[in-house]
Structure 1
Amino acid sequence: MQKVALDAKACEVSAELVHRGIAADARVHALVEVVGEDAELPPMAAVAEAGGAFDWLADEPDLYTDTDLQRPPRAG
């Protein structure tokens, strides 16, 4: 397995990989770390909500409520 680390603009990644000898039609696995001014990304909760992966939970009944919460007895 060949590993390549890049420091490039997102729009330049494909060209940079080809420049380094990786075929344009090669399948790659990428791990992206955004740096610099663009590093301000939304929190993970916002990413999950926008992705819609948990939308099905809206149709599920609530299994627990606040009345199910058990508090330890107060000391003193």
Structure 2
Amino acid sequence: MSFDTILRMLKTQVDFKESEIIHTFYSEDQRPVLSVIYHFDTETFLLTYKETEQAKRYTDINKLADNIERYLNQQPLEI
């Protein structure tokens, strides 16, 4: 998935901040690997790594999109 596509998805969460939109990203073998939710009250994104349930908060949408893109590109490709 490209940086621009990820950024557009994240901007949708900000644009519809009164709704709870959770984006889940999947690996090539269809395992959920990341999820992102936007908290409008604190204007932060919460990125959760599904395998470990470790969560990180981001306020910079570009940095978040970059980290998601990098993480997804490291996932093993299905052969």
TM-score (norm 1): 0.20
Higher share in helix: 1
- Point out the structure with max Rg over C-alpha: 1
